[in-house]
């Protein structure tokens, strides 16, 4: 593989001590030369979870998901409690019944483990589609493994929600704008988070196809559940879903729940005031996350677009009252995407952040810490704090950094902007 230092030399850029050269010793390890090692670790995660929790009947979330399919067929309200089947309630849209269907129709002993593997493979597919250079794919996958394990351990769908957002971004990057609409609407009709993909419209080279894709797929996904139920019942399900989400938000912001592990929850719990409205946070959060988009001249820089993706991944978790321990696979991916685009990944500041992110955010809610520590972290939503710090640092980069200058070459198709003439890494490789 041609080294990044050679790329710069071919372009006659006087930048001899590149970050990639500094990090080259680390990436000489054979672990970074293939993604098969980290993929094997990822695939083991749901198997370990299944082998421990399934036989102790600790797979309640999977039961909730499974019965979304059966309740839609039976035309039973998707958002009521069914204590004979599971505890807690479903909060996913009717379309989720189609996604869970292949697993729901199999025996739980098989469907449960396959569900975990499916979610892992969705994230892996999205990682590959990001088109990072191999060593950075492996690094990113390694860094998010703790939070992926947290999500898989809860049999959650959040890894796939993350994958949908990443894939919507990559479809725009690859000029497959119609199919970006597929992933955006799929994520939206299941868990609403996917709607942030609409921001990628601004980066689209074919905005008409983007709009058409969103329109076509939204109609299809709206009516698709009707294939296994009645149109009247499915329409009622959407009404019930809205009401369930409103009710859930009211219960989430109570100061003693396992939800609202977010920037909003951190402030509410530190102040001891559950009455602070989400709207107050949205009033400054939404303008902050969208503010970098007024820098139209930066759109052509790959790293700017990737950092906007990172910011959105963090925003939807840090500004959601539904955020919980297992949701952070979405946020932490945004965090580490930001980190690997830094000129010096393992700077002193970043190493300090890594420790807090991996230990405090990733592990503090787990059994590796005492009950008292876990309860303290939960009571004050402290899991969110390192991510809040990173989001502020990221916004500073997005608002102040000139991405049109030479940036670290992390992506296979990244453009180097030189004298206003973009040259891609692929072209450099092709030219020897």
Distances (CA, A) of 305 to 298, 349, 401: 8, 23, 13
pLDDT in tens, the chain (432 residues): 444 444 333 433 333 344 454 455 566 788 888 999 999 999 999 999 999 999 999 999 999 999 999 999 999 999 999 999 998 899 999 999 999 999 999 999 999 999 999 999 999 999 999 988 899 999 999 999 999 999 999 999 999 999 999 999 999 999 999 999 999 999 999 999 999 999 999 999 999 999 999 999 999 999 999 999 999 999 999 999 999 999 988 888 888 888 899 999 999 999 999 999 999 999 999 999 999 999 999 999 999 999 999 999 999 999 999 999 999 999 999 999 999 988 889 999 999 999 999 998 999 888 888 898 888 988 899 999 999 999 999 999 999 999 998 777 787 766 554 444 455 555 544 544
Q: What is the pLDDT of residue 5?
A: 42
pTM recorded for the entire structure: 0.90
Position 411 scores a pLDDT of: 78
Which pLDDT score is estimated for 364? Answer: 86
| Residues contacting residue 202 through CB under 8 Å, at least 6 positions apart | 293, 299
| Dihedral sign for Cα atoms in the order 417, 419, 421, 426 | negative
pLDDT number for residue 253 = 84
Contacts of 58 (CB under 8 A, 6+ apart): 52
Transcribe 240-265 into DSSP letters: HHHHHHHHHHHHHTSTTSS---SHHH
pLDDT at 408: 74
- Which residues, in sequence order, are CB contacts of 239 under 8 Å at separation 6+? none
Q: What is the pLDDT of residue 18?
A: 47
**Cα distance from N-terminal residue to C-terminal residue, the chain:** 10
**So what's the pLDDT on residue 168?**
98
Residue 423 has what pLDDT?
54
Q: How many helices (H) and strands (E) does the chain have?
A: 22, 2
Nearest to 412 by CA among 172, 170, 180: 170
User: Which pLDDT belongs to residue 140?
Assistant: 96
Cβ neighbours around 229 below 10 Å, total: 17
Please report, for the chain, the start and end positions of each structural domain, with discontinuous segments joined by +.
32-252, 253-432
Residue 276: CB atoms within 10 A of its CB come to: 13
User: What confidence score (pLDDT) does residue 8 get?
Assistant: 35
Residue 25, CA distances (Å) to 2, 20, 134, 341, 408 in order: 15, 9, 15, 18, 17
Longest dimension (CA), the chain: 70
């Amino acid at each position: 593989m041609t080294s990044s230092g050679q790329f710069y030399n071919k372009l006659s850029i006087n930048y001899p001590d590149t970050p990639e050269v500094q990090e080259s010793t680390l990436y000489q390890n054979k672990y970074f030369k293939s993604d098969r090692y980290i993929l094997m670790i990822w695939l083991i995660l749901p198997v370990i979870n299944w082998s421990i929790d399934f036989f102790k009947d600790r797979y309640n979330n999977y039961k909730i998901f499974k019965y979304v399919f059966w309740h839609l067929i039976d035309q039973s309200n998707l958002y009521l409690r069914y204590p004979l089947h599971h505890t807690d309630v479903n909060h996913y849209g009717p379309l989720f019944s189609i996604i869970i269907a292949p697993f729901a129709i199999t025996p739980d002993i098989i469907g449960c483990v396959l569900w975990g593997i499916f979610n892992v493979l969705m994230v892996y597919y999205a990682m590959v589609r990001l088109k990072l250079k191999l060593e950075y794919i492996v690094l990113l996958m390694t860094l998010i493994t703790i939070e992926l394990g947290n999500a898989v351990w809860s049999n959650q769908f959040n890894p796939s929600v993350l994958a949908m957002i990443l894939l919507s971004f990559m479809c725009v990057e690859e000029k497959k704008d119609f199919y970006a609409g597929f992933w955006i609407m799929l994520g939206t009709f299941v868990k609403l988070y996917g709607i942030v993909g609409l921001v990628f419209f601004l980066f689209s080279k074919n905005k008409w196809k983007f709009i058409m894709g969103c329109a076509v797929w939204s109609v299809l996904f709206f009516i698709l559940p009707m294939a296994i139920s009645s149109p009247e019942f499915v329409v009622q399900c959407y009404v019930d879903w809205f009401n369930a989400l409103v009710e859930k938000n009211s219960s989430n912001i109570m100061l003693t729940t396992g939800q609202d592990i977010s920037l909003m929850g951190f402030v509410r719990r530190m102040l001891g005031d559950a009455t602070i409205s989400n709207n107050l946070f949205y009033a400054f959060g939404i303008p902050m996350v969208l503010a970098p988009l007024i820098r139209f001249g930066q759109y052509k820089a790959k790293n700017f677009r990737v950092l906007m993706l990172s910011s959105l991944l963090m925003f939807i978790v840090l500004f959601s009252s539904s955020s919980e321990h297992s949701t952070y696979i979405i946020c932490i991916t945004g965090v580490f995407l930001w980190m690997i685009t830094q000129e010096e990944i393992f700077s002193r500041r970043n190493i300090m952040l890594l420790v807090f992110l991996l230990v405090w955010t990733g592990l503090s809610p787990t059994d590796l810490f005492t009950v008292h520590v876990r309860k303290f972290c939960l009571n004050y939503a402290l899991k969110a704090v390192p991510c809040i710090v990173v989001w502020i640092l990221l916004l500073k980069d997005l608002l102040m950094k000139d991405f049109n200058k030479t940036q670290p070459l992390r992506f296979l198709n990244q453009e180097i902007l030189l004298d206003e003439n973009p040259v891609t890494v692929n072209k450099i490789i092709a030219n020897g």
